Amino acid sequence: MTGMQAFLAERVITGERIIPAGAVLVQGERILAVGRAAELAMPAEAECCDLGDGILCPGLVDIHAHGGDGADCTDGTPEAVLTVARRHLRAGTTSLLPTTATAPLEEIWRAFDSIIAARAEQKSGDGARLLGIHSEGNWFAVAQRGAHAAELLTPATPEVQERLLSYAAHLARVTLAPELEGALNLIRALAAKGVLVSGGHSDALYAEVCRAMEAGMRHLTHLWSGMSVMRRIGPKRYSGMLEAGLIEEGLTGEIIADGYHLPSSLMKMAYRLKGPEKLCLVSDAMQASGLGPGEYGIGGLRVVVEPGYDVAMLADRTSFAGSISTMAQCLQHVVQEVGISLLDAVRMSTLTPARIIGRDDVGRIAPGAWADLVVLAPDTMAPRRVMIGGGWVNT
C-alpha cells in the first residue's frame, strides 16, 4: 500500500488509552497520526473508511506460539513456520514469536534455521509478522517438564551454549530453568546480547530466581504452568518461582488465558499483583490451533484434543500440552469471564508483550508504528477485520 488511508471508529484503543470517535491515518505501511476525528486534520487525498461501531485496536502480539493449522515451529521447514504465521494472522495476531519446543539438539538448530529463512522469505501480508525466535527448551527441570519429553532434556554444556549464542542475532527470547548447572552464565551471556531471558519449566526456589534476576533474567513463562511454588523443606517454608514472579518488580510475566490452563481466580491474582504493564497474555498455541479434535504430536510426545475441549492434553491426560486458542480468544476470555477491562485486556495483548520483548514498532497505534490493526466487534470482542502493513487480510 502506498496511498493515504483514514480509518474512523466509534472507539480507537491505542494500547494506552481509548479515543472516542477516533481516527487513524495510515500512510503506506505505517501509521501517520491518531486522535479524535473532529480534531485530526484529514488530508484531502486520504481514502476514508468508516468502521462504524467496530473497536479499532493495534494488531495482537503473541510472544509465545508454537503452531497452528497442523504445523509446528519445530518442524524444521520455513513453510511450517509460515503456515503458523498465516493461521494466527487470520485470527487477529499480526506479530508473533515463533516458538520451538524441546527436541533433539540438531532438530532445534534446524528449526532455528527454518525460522530465520521464513523471516527472510516472508512477503508483506503473508502471515503474522515474525519478530524473532523464542526457544523453549531443552534446559528445563525434569520435575517441571510439563509436555516436554524428559529424555530430551539436555544440559546446557559449554558447547551447547556456544551454539545457542551463535544465533543471538535472531533470538528474541529464551526460556530456561535458572537453577540448572551453567544456567547463570548462559543468562548473563544472552542478556548481554539483548536476548530476553525467561524463567520457566523450573523448580527454582525464590533465592535462585533472585540470583537469575541479578544475572539478567527479566520475564517468567506461563505463570503457574511448569514452575515451582511454595514448598516446605524440613520445618521451613520456601517460596518458589511463582511467588517471585508475582511480587518482584523486576520480573514481567505471561498467562495462558484460554480458560483451561488457569481458573479465573488465578488470572485475577496475576492481574492485580502485576498490573497490565507487566503482565501479558499468550496463546501458547500448538499445531491443533485452527483444526480441532484429533491426535497430534509436540516435543516428541503424543497429545490429544478431545471433542468439547479447546485444549491439548498428553495422551495419558496427566498434563495440558499447549493451547489451541488464539490471542483474540484469550482477549475475549479475560474480558468476558475474568472481568478485566477492555482497555487493560487490549494492552495485555498488544503494547505490553511488545514492550516485554523490546519492540516499539508493533503493538500500539502511534505515529511511526506499523499499520497493523484489528477491528473488534463491540459485543463479542471477536475480530471483524485484520490489517497488516496497511492492507486488509482476507480472513
Residues with catalytic annotation?
284
Helix 105-121 × helix 78-90 angle, to 10°:
60
Q: Which three cell numbers stand for residue 324?
A: 489451541
Q: Rounded to whole angstroms, how far apart are CA atoms 208 and 244?
A: 10
What residues contact residue 25 under an 8 Å CB cut-off, 6+ apart?
4, 5, 6, 31, 32, 33, 34, 40, 42, 43, 46
Distance CA 4, CA 49 (A): 11
Spatial contact of 277 and 352, defined as CB atoms under 8 Å apart: yes
Which helix or strand (DSSP H or E) is residue 105 part of?
helix 105-121
Pair type for strands 30-36 and 383-388: unpaired
Q: How many CB atoms lie within 10 A of CB 145?
A: 21
One DSSP character per residue, 284-297 reads: -B-TTTTT-SEEEE
- Residue that is written with C-alpha cell 548462559 in the block: 186
Under 8 Å between Cβ of 235 and 270? no
DSSP 54: P
